[in-house]
Chain A
Amino acid sequence: MTELQMLEGCKLNNVTAQEVLYNRYNSKMLGVCYRYANNRADAEDMLQEGFIRIFSQLHQYRSEGSLEGWIRRVIVHTCINILKKNKKFSEYLDIAHAENMEARQASVYSMMQTKHIIECIRMLPLGYKTVLNLYAIEGYSHKEIAAILEIEEGTSRSQYARAKIMLENILIKRGVIDQSFKKTKNTAAI
């Protein structure tokens, strides 16, 4: 089934097409949700809400960008909305509170480098983690993040700066950064 057929089928509420779309993107989108969530169960809840929104809003997709990019944006916004419903989320977005936060002393036990880095990101305080995910990985601007999270643009910038430093310290402590960063740079040079 081509992407066009799949999209047309989904817009006609065809179950087969919907299942194809779901199977094509679910694992990658759960990886996205996992970076925002506290645990896997929360990530699956986010994924579920996200795909419900995707299927109900698919008619709004105009084929102007990639379908994956559009799906990813819906998923990320769903994650943020769910986090914002959590009362603690606003506390974590407060700079003073975040400055005093220590990264959780959780371990990274996966043998996979990617999993290592994902877990290091997840160790960050919620506010740091969210801004870092949105800015560094999803590519949102600080202005957009401020609008999404309903915070000041300056807050987003400072949260990001602190998140970066904290993540760097975690990566060094976990022995991830020397190998992977050099490797990344070398790969980029090639």
Chain B
Amino acid sequence: MNLFEHNDNFEQFLREATENFRMRPSVRVWTSVYNNIHPSKKSPSAAAFLVFMISFFILNSSNSIVFLQSKSTEKQIAIHVHNKQLLTYSKKSHEIEKIAFSKKQHMYQAVIDNKIKAQINRKSNNDESLLSTFENSNTIDFSDMKSQPHLQDANLRQEFNQFVVSAKNNDKLKTQKPFYISTKNNDESELSYQLYATSSVGYSNGYRNTETEISNASANQPQNVTELNKTLRYMPEYNLEAGGAFLVNVTNSLRLKAGMQLNYTNYKLTNEEGTGDVANSEINNPTINNVALVNEIQILHPDMNTELKKYNSSTYEISIPLGTELELIGNHQLKWFAGATIQPSYIVGGYPGQNTNEMKSYLPEDGSGFRKWNVNTSFETFLSYKLPNGSRINAGPQFRYQLFSSYDSKYLYNEKQYNIGLKLGISRNF
């Protein structure tokens, strides 16, 4: 008998039943809608951030005149920045040098690493009249510079004279507070160390291992095994990394690093809404190549009167990050880096294999199905800000990805974890 013989009852029943059904959409929906209806003022993206940072540094490095002055009055230097050239003056050496640089963002580093250091250490006769021009850090008088005996190049001399004249006539420049550098500049050290922690959100991705043959013993294998990723839902969880590394400067902007890191990885797994039975049957394979894949997976099969069950997989790993960091742009105070590492990792503990709330696992109980050794890779970009004490605070986003499956190659499914997080750290030169 049809319980809904009267269509009106059936439709009324469905309308009333569904009327108040609501689901909260994720944030990305509004972001996409907003970006579509307001294309000219899109939400901040990585590209926009990149453009902003480049603009910031270029604008900040395009001042025509920069003064570098050490806290020690004996080691003061004035620098003229013009047409991608630096004119430096050292009161110690009384020399004005011309330094070419191809990129503005390399300007500060070029001066600090290659020139100023040399000039500061150079010994020469003091010219008291010139020294006096730098005694007052807030007011600089260029009048005596015109007579610099070491300025042999006619064009350079003319250019520098123009600079001096313009500086003399510019009230703002006369009172400009010098930019200080320390003669014990830690940036000059070749070796540094860093300590860091990364708070991240961990995800995982499961898919069919096409290299694994299904044995005859599992003839009852369901047909749609390739649908695992559509059936199971991987849910993000909190992850944490902490470690330390040593860094060695290879060039002015490139450094290599190696260290040790502790990782806590974590994610949850549940079946897609409305597909509990499918998830159960797909994953419940007795044997694959004589390896038990699923022992107790019934928890994934939700009963009508039970809450949705979730698997929680977490591991503790030790990693050895080996990688490089490249300074993209920056000045003495603030630098922008990009970095990458490769991280051989060893699992020392935790509950891998998606143990259930009831401590059941679909991997062999001895854990033999789980790959103990794995390799991760990470990509990061960060801003590095120098503190008055010489240390640097580093902060920026990091992406970490697992290169090999969490499971042994004999298993029917592959799984790779990844996480996205914010890395905070501190570094210091030796």
Contact = CB atoms under 8 A, between A and B. Distances in A.
B154 interface: no
Nearest to A27: B22
A44 B3 contact: no
A114 B274 contact: no
Contact of B3 (A48, A52, A118, A181): A181
A184 B13 contact: yes
A137 B307 CA distance: 28
A177 B17 CA distance: 11
Contacts of B275: 104, 106-107
Interface string A162-188: 001100100010110100110011001
Nearest to A160: B7
Contacts of A174: 304
Interface stretch (B27-35, B259-267, B335-343, B362-370): B27-35
B276 to A, nearest CB: 4
B24 A30 contact: yes
Given A30-B25, A104-B278, A114-B21, A184 B12 contact: yes
B17 A47 contact: no
A188 B10 CA distance: 13
Contacts of B24: 26-27, 30
B305 interface: yes
A136 interface: yes
Interface in B9-43: 9-18, 20-26, 28-30, 32-34, 36-38
A31 B18 CA distance: 8
Given A107-B302, A188-B12, A40 B3 contact: no
Contacts of B11: 135-137
A162 to B, nearest CB: 12
A184 B16 contact: yes
Contacts of A153: none
Contacts of B63: none
Contacts of B278: 104-106
B138 to A, nearest CB: 46
Interface stretch (A1-9, A13-21, A59-67, A83-91): A13-21
A20 to B, nearest CB: 12
B29 A117 contact: no
B306 A165 contact: no
B37 A18 contact: yes
A9 to B, nearest CB: 13
B430 interface: no
A97 interface: no
Contacts of B25: 26-27, 30, 44, 47
Nearest to A43: B23
Interface in B26-64: 26, 28-30, 32-34, 36-38
Contacts of B34: 15, 18
Nearest to B22: A27
A137 B13 CA distance: 9
B128 interface: no
Instruction: Sort A-B residue pairs by CB-CB distance and give the 6 closest, nearest first.
Output: A109-B302, A107-B276, A27-B22, A31-B21, A117-B17, A30-B23
Interface of B: 2-4, 9-18, 20-26, 28-30, 32-34, 36-38, 230, 272-278, 301-308
Given A48-B32, A137-B11, A175-B304, 17 more contacts: A15-B34, A15-B38, A26-B24, A26-B25, A26-B29, A31-B22, A48-B29, A51-B33, A109-B304, A109-B306, A111-B307, A117-B14, A123-B274, A136-B15, A164-B2, A165-B2, A184-B13
